[in-house]
Amino acid sequence: MVIAAFMISGYGILKGLIAVLVLSIILGFYDIVMKPTLFRRRFSKYPNVYVRPTFTFLVGDFDKAIEDETSNRIYYQHIKEEAALRNKYDLKVDIEGKVLTLSLISDRAMREYVALSPNKIDKFRWLKGPMKIEIGSISVEGTSTEILNRRKYLSSLLGLNAGSKYIPQMLSCCEEYVQKLKTKGKVQFMDEMLTFAFYTLACILFGSDIKLLMGKKHSFKNEDGTIEELTLLEYFCKIEQAFMKEFTNPITGLLPIISDLNLIDPFKTNQRNFQIYRKALNEMLAQSKDNESIWAQLKNKDDYDQDKIRCDLQMYVFAGAESISHNIVSALYFLKKFPDSYAKLKKELNDHGIHKGADFNKVLTIDKLDELEYLSCVVKEALRFDPPFPQGYFYTAKEDITLCDVPIPKGTIMKHDYLSGSFNEKSYLRPMEFIPDRFNPESEFYQESVKSGVSPEPYSKRFFGMGTRRCPGQSFGVLQCKLIIAYLVSSMDYEVDSDLLSNDYAGFGLGGNFTPYFTIT
Binding site for ligand HEM (CB under 6 A): 138-139, 151, 158, 316, 319-320, 323-324, 327, 383, 388-389, 392-393, 463-466, 469-473, 476-477, 481
- The SS3 assignment for 221 reads strand
Considering the complex, state which of residue 51 and residue 397 has its C-beta at the smaller distance from ligand HEM.
397
Question: Rounded to the nearest whole angstrom, what is the least distance from the CB of residue 53 to ligand HEM in the complex?
Answer: 30
Omega prior to 409 cis, within 30 of 0: no
d(CA 438, CA 412): 37
CB of 392 to ligand HEM, least distance (A): 4
Please list, residue by residue across 421-450, b when 16 or more beta carbons sit within 10 angstroms of its beta carbon and e when fewer do. Answer: bbbbeebbbebeebbbbbbbeebebbeebe
Q: How far is CA 294 from the centre of its chain?
A: 22
Residues 6+ apart with CB under 8 A from 294: 154, 157, 158, 204, 205, 206, 313, 316
Smallest gap, in angstroms, from Cβ of residue 475 to ligand HEM?
9
What residues have CB less than 8 Å from 175, skipping those under 6 apart?
360
CB of 498 to ligand HEM, least distance (A): 28
**Cβ nearer to ligand HEM, comparing 316 with 518:** 316
By beta-carbon proximity to ligand HEM, the closer residue of 51 and 510 is 510
Q: Where are the beta strands (DSSP E) in 121-270?
A: 121-123, 186-188, 217-221, 227-231
Least separation in angstroms between CB 517 and ligand HEM = 23
Which of residues 331 and 500 has its CB atom nearest to ligand HEM in the complex? 331
Other CB atoms closer than 10 Å to residue 31's CB: what's the count?
13
State which amino acid sits at residue 222.
N
- The amino acid occupying position 34 is M
CA angle, corner 69, sides to 62 and 106, nearest 5?
Answer: 50
Distance CA 513, CA 498 (A): 17
- Least separation in angstroms between residue 521's CB and ligand HEM is 27
Among 434, 458, 461, residue whose Cα is nearest residue 445: 434
Q: Give me the least distance between CB of 206 and ligand HEM, in Å please.
A: 12
Q: Could you give the 3-state DSSP secondary structure of residue 229?
A: strand
> Which residue, 109 or 466, is less far from ligand HEM as judged by CB?
466
Nearer to ligand HEM, 129 or 320 (CB): 320
> What is the Cα–Cα distance from 325 to 315, expressed in whole angstroms?
15
- Closest CB to ligand HEM among residues 65, 383: 383
The least distance separating ligand HEM from the CB of residue 509, rounded to whole angstroms, comes to 10
Q: How many CA atoms lie within 13 A of 109 on its CB side?
A: 27
429 phi and psi, to 5 degrees?
-75, 140
If the CB atoms of residues 230 and 329 are measured against ligand HEM, the closer one turns out to be: 329
Which DSSP state fits 49? E
Cβ-based neighbour number of residue 257 at 10 Å: 8
**Least Cβ distance, residue 320 to ligand HEM (angstroms):** 3
Give the residue among 217, 202, 237 at the shortest CA–CA distance from 314.
202
**In a 10 Å sphere around its CB, with 0-12 CB exposed, 13-18 middle and 19+ buried, how is residue 494 labelled?**
middle
Nearer to ligand HEM, 198 or 235 (CB): 198
DSSP three-state, residue 247: helix
SS3 content of the chain, % helix, strand, coil (to 5): 60, 10, 30
To ligand HEM, the closest distance from the beta carbon of 413 in angstroms equals 13
Q: Would you state the torsion angle of the CA atoms of residues 162, 165, 169, 174, taken in this order, to the nearest 10 degrees? A: 80
Nearest residue (CB) to ligand HEM, 52 versus 299: 299
481 carries a ligand binding annotation:
no
Helical spans, DSSP H, in 75-144: 77-81, 83-86, 107-116
Binding-site residue numbers are 471
Binding-site residue numbers for heme are 471
